[in-house]
Chains A and B, each alone.
Chain A
Amino acid sequence: MTEEQPRESVIVEKELPLGPVHPALLEPFRVRFFVNDEIVEDCEVILSMPHRGIERILEGLPVERALLITERVCGICSNSHAWNSVRVIEKGLNIEVPPRALFIRVIAQELQRIASHLIFIGHAMEVVGHETFAMRAFLLREEYMDMLYFIGGNRVHPAVPVIGGVRPRCEISDSLKRVILETLERSERKLRNYVGRVVADPLVMGRLTGVGYLSKEDAIRLHAVGPTARASGVEWDWRMEMFEYKPFTYDYVILYEGDNKARVIARALEIFECIKIVRQALKDLPEGPVVNRDWSPQRMKFTDSYNEAPRGELYHSYSLDDYGKLRHYKIRTPTITSIHSVEFAAKGDHVTDAVVTIASCDPCLACCNRVEIIDEKSGRRRQFTSMIEVIKKYGWRR
């Protein structure tokens, strides 16, 4: 539904709803395809199924306990949420973090990024219909889950960062360092083999090539983030800005095709860059303490922080009142901004391809709290990222 067209002309009669429980989706969200003889004319993703009111329950909690909830915003990129929420207070109250802790945080983050990208590849392969590749990806992922388990003691929520450093339990000892390096060595070989085979497979690539095209202009206009945007040629990665990543040399994966194939390959190539970062971080891991307890909760003005989660830009911000309690917690996750661009990219394709396109932005919807507006004329509902978008699309009147 672009701005130039009058709204009446794009409303199509036939609707194909998917979800909330559907094999191609895994997570509860509804997709409505408005189809005209198998061709998708409009597509709408309804997100607010898993709304748990996180921002509301965080209000008034002591800041140390908030970490328990922010980590449980998402189970795939839990470390980036936990890390970003402690970055806010570290930035706001100028808490100094020991360098060893920064390195350990980066290690945990990159290991989780690899695990997340492997889930994505597995999921995309499953949607495409190649179950062997899907199972392979999940098998490869197990090694990274093991490493997170060794570091943090939990496979999904390792809880590595705390305010002022990392949990002392997450200290990386010499023996653990050796284990991680050996596992990386082994699994990198397997990964190269696996990715090579996925890319060379004519059946899989035939399903992905040239489908769901998203141009660079559209990616910027619809605010795609992370690998979804980088596969369309947007040269932006929040890791360029973060001081934690300054000591490492690695490449950013930027592709220009902008189709589903590029989105899969961008993530596959990023895995190898993550391995590079983990290797360097383990090699020059500084000595010293891992946590700085020398801080106390006090009044803090509104501070924000951005982080590059596996799926893209992640935003957290809050302020603290006089007793060190949280006020106005705000989270914006990457999927919320990316999903509109795949809605757009899915138009004009076959229904079967459109499902792949939706999956190709790596939707992770465990975190949704959106505005919903109802179009009175057609009775259709739409959900928006922010009030600004509503205003842009429909003007102030609505």
Chain B
Amino acid sequence: MGLKATARKNAIHALLVYSGGCNGCDIEVVNAVFSPRYDIEQYRILLTWNPREADVLIVTGAITWAMKEPLQRIYELIPEPKAVLAVGSCAINGCVFRNLVGDIKHNPEVFAPLEKIIPVDIKVPGCPPRPEDIIMAAVKGVPKLMAAP
């Protein structure tokens, strides 16, 4: 393993972008990081708020009009190599906001799934997924980062 890969492996920075879901997934991700019971930092994954430092982008929520462009901009700002985690059924398929609509057959406010906007590497299903699942997914994203030159 080269010097770069070793350095990367020892400090993986995750950026959380909440793009308009119900907050549940958001809290669970923060929980996975903050709560000493789960403590994602034991796997050397840290939460950051600076896209320039980030390696893993965690996206939760169905993508709304107002958050679509900031999300694309943030994705472009993150340097290569990067991994994208879609957490929660909102980001994966739009959850109830897309699939359970009344008279208007199609909800124009949400842009879910996330795949249509930025490429997704890992999907964590659940509404919301348990923190254990989120941690497992974040740890699975590491090999992809390592494989890059």
Judging by beta carbons under 8 Å apart, are B23 and A57 in contact?
no
Q: Chain B contacts of A76 at CB under 8 A?
A: 23-24, 27
A157 touches B96 (CB 8 A): no
Are A75 and B17 closer than 8 Å at their CB atoms?
A: no
Pick the contact of B49 from A23, A28, A58, A364 — CB < 8 Å?
A: A23
> Is A28 a contact of B18 with CB atoms below 8 Å?
yes
B interface residue numbers (CB < 8 A to A): 17-28, 30-31, 34-37, 49, 61-62, 64-67, 70, 74, 95-97, 100-104, 107-110, 127-128, 130
The answer to the question of A69 belonging to the interface, with a C-beta cut-off of 8 Å to chain B, is: yes
Contacts of A142 in B (CB 8 A): 31, 35, 37
Residues of chain B contacted by A52 (CB below 8 angstroms):
20, 62, 64, 97, 107, 109-110
B21–A57 contact, CB under 8 A?
no
Say how far B113's CB is from chain A's closest CB, in angstroms: 15
Q: Which 7 A-B pairs have the closest CB atoms?
A: A75-B24, A60-B102, A60-B103, A50-B20, A75-B23, A53-B109, A156-B24
Quick one: closest B residue to A53, CB to CB? B109
Q: Is A234 an interface residue (CB 8 A)?
A: no
Question: In chain A, what residue has the closest Cβ to B103?
Answer: A60
Count residues on chain A whose CB falls below 8 Å from chain B CBs: 46
- Complex: A119 Cα to B26 Cα, angstroms: 12
A72 to B20, CA, bound (A): 11
- Nearest Cβ in chain A — how far from B24, in angstroms? 3
Q: A76-B27, A155-B28 are known contacts. Are A57 and B74 too (CB-CB below 8 A)?
A: no
- Residue A65 interfacial (CB < 8 Å): yes
- Which one of B62, B74, B102, B128 has the greatest number of beta carbons of chain A within 10 Å? B102
Give the distance to chain B from A113, nearest Cβ to Cβ, in Å: 15
Known: A50-B20, A75-B22. Is A28-B67 also a contact (CB below 8 A)?
Answer: yes
B20 touches A57 (CB 8 A): no
Please report the C-alpha to C-alpha distance between residue A366 and residue B21 in the assembled complex, in whole angstroms: 7
Rounded to whole Å, the gap between the CB of B91 and the closest CB of chain A is 13
CB neighbours (8 Å) of A74 from chain B are 22-23
Does the CB pair B22–A73 fall under 8 Å? yes
- Set B17, B22, B104, B108: member contacting A366, Cβ < 8 A: B22
Residues of chain A from 49 to 107 with CB closer than 8 A to chain B in the complex:
49-54, 56-61, 65, 68-69, 72-76, 78
Contacts of A48 in B (CB 8 A): 66
Residue from B17, B100, B130 in contact with A69 in the complex, judged by beta carbons closer than 8 Å: B100
**What are 9 A-B contacts with C-beta separation under 8 Å?**
A49-B64, A52-B64, A75-B27, A138-B36, A154-B127, A156-B28, A157-B127, A325-B102, A326-B102
